[in-house]
Amino acid sequence: MHARIEAGRLDAATLARNFADAHAPLTPARAAVEADRCYYCYDAPCIEACPTGIDIPGFIRRIAAHDLKGAGETILSANILGGSCARVCPTEILCEGACVRTLAGDGAVEIGALQRHATDHVMERGLQPFSRAPFTGRRIAIVGAGPAGLACAHALAMRGHGVTIFEARPRPGGLNEYGVAAYKLAGDFAQEEIAWLLGIGGIELAYDHPIASPAALSTLRATHDAVFLALGHGGVRALSAGANEFPGESLGGVEDAVAFIARLRSAADKASVPVGDRVVVIGGGNTAIDAAMQASRLGAREVTMLYRRGPGDMSATAFEREWAQTSGIQILFDAVPHSFDADDDEPGHVAAVNVFVRGEPRVIAADMVLKAIGQFYDAPLGDTLALESGRIAVDPEGRTSLQGVYAGGDCTKGADLTVVAVADGKRAAIAIHTDLMQPGS
């Protein structure tokens, strides 16, 4: 390992603070005050802004009436992963961004925090508002145990179908388990939420079981009544493209940000994860922000983000960007990297990033470079499915070009958000149930 990439830069107490829950939960008194701020709009724009259509005024009214169980059930009936979505959703551009109080200049109701308050109440007490219908005799295969796959599985199990989820990794959760900053889903919340979801019964999981070939898909189709694909993004974009090689991309210390985040998420001891002294992150999305913030919280002395366009073009929200900047992350806009330099003392390792900032050349010292320039669907099933814009093509209910095969989440066209994946999974489950239960099916 390079001399300036070290584990254990910070003591255990500091790391515990740095990776603790980023936003403290509401106290009962604070939740009551916040719930009273809601106007309970009849034509609530916050509902329209929520991809899963949660009855937001309805659940907030129940919180105000001290009915947390009812509030939680209202949320979870629309979004079975309402607990994680309350923590990771960009509420500032979704429900809270549409809040009437925002339009009045009074500050949005803290919808996300209230949603967490209600769903935590349900899950911490082991309450199970949902029950499984009698077994229909139909069995559905789901590929991928991320938000889309889990939401689809739960909705199908509720309707009495047998479900098996085939997951390529050793743990379920997808993005929530491997791709979200540790301080957003602190502790083992992602797994606790999944365990609660699976409590409905009728859902089996097969881990370390990738479905990554047309033949594997054909087998699933032959042995199940329907298949739902929740494959996510398997590919990570490189700086080199085709014949255009990016000099230095293969140097040690240069890696994909998603791999860094996954390694940190799965580490039982954060002190065991090595980080550079000077870290450069390339990209302007949420993954780039998460990588930069976590590198800093691991003890990196300098963290610099390079984004090739201006602030208004970043896919990361303004809230995330400002959070990073106020946390000591330097963001250089209109910054286009064009090569990496090797270390004179260790030629196989990166030492600097050469970049044009608003057309002016600049050299930024770096012993670790994290690339966060986008992910893509890498078509592991070949050309067996029709594609649209490089992802699996589906109709509004999630049906693909193959009979009996459905898809949703990041492998299909749409916003790459947990809440959107949940909506896709639930919508496809309804379509699968409808199609299977038709007479003669």
User: What does the alpha-carbon distance between residue 233 and residue 149 come to, in Å, rounded to a whole number?
Assistant: 13
CATH code: domain 23-124 is 1.10.1060.10
pLDDT at 241: 83
Backbone CA torsion sign across 208, 214, 216, 217:
positive
pLDDT at 104: 80
Residue (of 376, 405, 441) closest to 152 by Cα position: 405
pLDDT band (50, 70, 90) for residue 371: very high
Q: Give me the residue spans of the domains in the chain.
A: 23-124, 139-235+376-436, 247-374
Average pLDDT over residues 188-201: 96
User: What does the alpha-carbon distance between residue 136 and residue 138 come to, in Å, rounded to a whole number?
Assistant: 5
Q: Is-same-fold flag (23-124; 247-374)? A: no
User: What does the alpha-carbon distance between residue 376 and residue 233 come to, in Å, rounded to a whole number?
Assistant: 5
Average pLDDT over residues 165-170: 96
247-281 pLDDT, tens digit per residue, is 999 999 999 999 999 999 999 899 999 999 999 99
Tokens 């670790």 belong to which residue? 368
Average pLDDT over residues 222-243: 93
90-125 pLDDT, tens digit per residue, is 999 999 999 999 878 889 999 999 999 999 999 999
Fold of 247-374: FAD/NAD(P)-binding domain (3.50.50)
pLDDT band (50, 70, 90) for residue 2: low
Average pLDDT over residues 27-39: 97
Count the Cβ atoms, other than its own, within 10 Å of residue 71. 28
408-424 pLDDT, tens digit per residue, is 999 999 889 999 999 99
Percent with pLDDT over 70 in the chain? 99
123 contacts 80 by C-beta, under 8 angstroms: no
pLDDT at 434: 97
Mean pLDDT score of the chain, rounded to an integer?
95
User: What does the alpha-carbon distance between residue 134 and residue 365 come to, in Å, rounded to a whole number?
Assistant: 63
Residue (of 243, 52, 225) closest to 139 by Cα position: 225
pLDDT band (50, 70, 90) for residue 242: confident
Average pLDDT over residues 382-388: 94
Q: Are strands 350-357 and 335-342 parallel, antiparallel or unpaired?
A: antiparallel
277 token code pair? 């002294």
434 token code pair? 């409808």
pLDDT at 440 over 90: no
Instruction: Give the predicted TM-score (pTM) of the model.
Output: 0.95
CATH code: domain 139-235+376-436 is 3.50.50.60
Helix segments in 37-143, DSSP class H: 45-49, 56-64, 68-78, 82-88, 100-103, 111-124
